[in-house]
Amino acid sequence: MRNCSPWTFLPIMYSVFTAGGLWVVYFIAVEDEKITPLSSEYKRSGPKSPPYISIAGNAPPASCVFSQVMNLAAFVGFIIGVLRYLQLKPQVHKPWLNIGSLVAMSLACFGMTLVGNFQLSNDEELHNIGTSMTFGLGTLFCWVQSFITLKVNLRNEGRRTGIPRFLLSGAVTACMLLYFALMAQRLHMHAARAQWALVMFFLCFLATFGIEFRHYHFEIVCTDDRDPPLSLSETFSEVSEYQSDQL
């Protein structure tokens, strides 16, 4: 841990706190008897709704927590996507892959804000657009990053990191397909479980960026207008590996 950059904790803490926030929303909704617990059987004739994440965060007070969690998750998720882009920029031989990955993550994060701020009962169409953006583009981001991990092979850890990421990408994709298939068959309880599993696998995937972040640090450079202007990438961040004499 002596050579570990503090940036390694950003994706890990992001995943832990986002997952924790979503489970808080779930338990609030269960306590208020808005949804059926995941461990129970859903009855269509009953007063409770199936435990989809969106339904759990559909009514106050759970909806207030849900909006906060999704907004913060979108903001920090976007930051992680930008830092990952900057980390890979000097290493990737096909820039369009890296740029495409950043665009996919950015739009997925925008979708999170739509999910969190437009509850299902208030604007179902916009909420569903946000859900599709988050799940669809988030899954695409996972596959692209898994491929880049193997190709770039940072610190000769590409295989050790890439294989788990491919497995997590496969789990995310399987859960997403299962979720939509079960939704179409109106098997709501099983579909809700698949949705929760999808989100947890996606957060686990993002947490794995801590593996590469531990070797890097990111700096924001600020200069006054008397100095020559820097390029956007130079102004925002300059990525370099830790050297032993810096510690």
pLDDT in tens, 3-12: 777 888 999 9
Q: Is the pLDDT of residue 113 over 50?
A: yes
> Is-contact 131 54, C-beta < 8 A?
yes
Q: Which of 212, 203, 172 is nearest to 83 (CA)?
A: 212
Q: Which residue has the higher pLDDT, 110 or 46?
A: 110
pLDDT at 238: 41
Q: Side-chain half-sphere of 112: how many Cα atoms within 13 Å?
A: 24
Q: Which residue has the higher pLDDT, 213 or 206?
A: 206
Structure tokens at 106: 């950015």
What residue spans define the domains of the chain?
Answer: 8-212
Q: What angle do CA 143, 153, 99 make, to 5 degrees?
A: 50
pLDDT in tens, 130-189: 999 999 999 999 999 999 999 888 788 878 899 999 999 999 999 999 999 999 998 999
> Is-contact 162 205, C-beta < 8 A?
no
Residue 65 region, left (φ>0) first, then alpha (ψ -120 to 50), else beta? alpha
The average pLDDT across 192-208 equals 96
pLDDT at 243: 34
Q: Is the pLDDT of residue 245 over 80?
A: no
What pairs with residue 216 in β-bridges?
241
Helices vs strands, H then E, count in the chain: 9, 2
- Hey, what amino acid is at 166? F
pLDDT at 93: 79
pLDDT in tens, 17-33: 999 999 999 999 999 98
Q: Is the pLDDT of residue 226 over 70?
A: no
> Is-contact 11 209, C-beta < 8 A?
yes
pLDDT at 227: 57
State pTM to two decimals. 0.85
Structure tokens at 126: 């916009």
State the CB neighbour count (10 A cutoff) for residue 146: 22
Encode 176-227 in three state secondary structure: HHHHHHHHHCCCHHHHHHHHHHHHHHHHHHHHCCHHHHCCEEEECCCCCCCC
pLDDT in tens, 54-102: 999 999 999 999 999 999 999 999 999 999 999 998 888 778 999 999 9
pLDDT at 221: 76
Q: Is the pLDDT of residue 233 over 60?
A: no
29: burial class by Cβ within 10 Å (0-12, 13-18, 19+)?
buried
Q: Is the pLDDT of residue 44 over 70?
A: no
